[in-house]
Structures are given as C-alpha cells and as structure tokens.
Amino acid sequence: TLVLYAQNDWLVTPEDSTRAFRELGNATSIQIALDAFSHMDFQYAADVKKEVYDQCIDFLV
C-alpha cells in the first residue's frame, strides 16, 4: 500500500495521512515535496506525472 500526501492538501491533512498510514500497517508513505501542492494537484497539476504517477509506478515495480 502506498500513501501519498501533501502539506498543502486542504481536504486530507498530513495528520489524516499519518493516521491512515499507521492504521494500514504494512504501508509506504511519500510526502509530495512541493509546498504548494494541494488536493486537486494529485490529478491536475502540470507536473503530476513526475510528482505522483512516476512515484506510484516506481513503487509498483
């Protein structure tokens, strides 16, 4: 299980992500390194491929 989160996410806070990570048990957590990255950016950001999708692929491979 992979949990990705961002500090500026207005819908899912870092605390929510941390709690989900703990409750999942065997999981990997990655914080998006961009300070301005928010909830909608997980789908629509210009750099979403590099910041999200590539990390998901790397995790799966």
Q: What is the largest CA-CA distance in the chain?
A: 32
Give me the pLDDT at residue 29, please.
86
Give me the pLDDT at residue 1, please.
86
Give me the pLDDT at residue 51, please.
92
The pTM of this model reads 0.78
Encode 8-32: b = buried (16+ Cβ within 10 Å), e = exposed: ebeeeeeeebeeebeeeeeeeebeb
Per-residue model confidence as pLDDT tens digits over 2-37: 888 898 999 988 888 889 888 998 888 888 988 889
Neighbours of 6 (CB within 10 A): 25
Range(s) of the domain holding residue 28: 2-60
Per-residue model confidence as pLDDT tens digits over 29-61: 888 988 889 999 999 999 999 999 999 999 999
Q: Into how many domains does the chain fold?
A: 1
